[in-house]
Amino acid sequence: MPAPIEFWFEFGSNYSYLALMRIEEEARRAQVPLHWKPFLLGPILRELGWQSSPFVDQKEKGDYVWRDMARRAARYGLPFRRPSDFPRRAVLPMRVALLGSAQPWMGEFCRRVMLRNWAQDAAIDNDDCVLAALAGLVADPSAILFQARQEPARDALRAQTAEARRLGIFGAPTFMVAGEMFWGDDRLEDALDHARTLG
């Protein structure tokens, strides 16, 4: 059995969008177990000295990234619209993702949130987004939303973010395979290959 791949991601991260829309199918095809690891990138970037995303703080990098995103999204056949608000706040859906990280609806929920952010240019840190993304996936979306607003869910996301920092994660998406780190959407295939070699 191949080693599992841990997928550390953030809904507000543009390259996480590209990876998230592909990873469930790619992991299934490679027969690599997938562990979803939602975390908040903002606190880590601030701890590393960035006031916002490097793509905002460094104009030249930002100009490049939006063109790169358009190219890579087209390569994968994914819709993409540069968001009018970047990085877009995503705390509430991130808490829901952590609650659902081991549930069968996790992948579809996350894809719906990502498409709202990166294809529809719509806010995602609100009740309407979460309820719409959960619709048809769980018996009672309102119950999941209520749970996500409670202190244990807040604490769990803080702890998950602290764990990402402890592991040395500095950006998203990051893939961890048996302690080996692979950073960036374009390293997904490398991470899956490494997982297969450990099987």
Backbone angles phi, psi at 144, to 5 degrees: -65, -45
Quote the CA–CA distance of 138 and 140 in Å, as a whole number.
6
Q: Decide which of 3.40.30.10, 3.30.1490.20, 3.30.2270.10, 3.30.590.10 is the CATH code for 5-197.
A: 3.40.30.10
pTM of the shown model: 0.95
pLDDT at 91: 98
Quote the CA–CA distance of 71 and 65 in Å, as a whole number.
10
For 8-61, how does the pLDDT look when each residue is reduced to its tens digit (9 = 90+)?
Answer: 999 999 999 999 999 999 999 999 999 999 999 999 988 887 776 666 667 788
Q: Side chain identity at 110, as an amino acid letter?
A: C
Q: 34-38 and 180-183: which strand pairing?
A: unpaired
**Average pLDDT of the chain, as a whole number:** 95
Strand partners, 182: 175
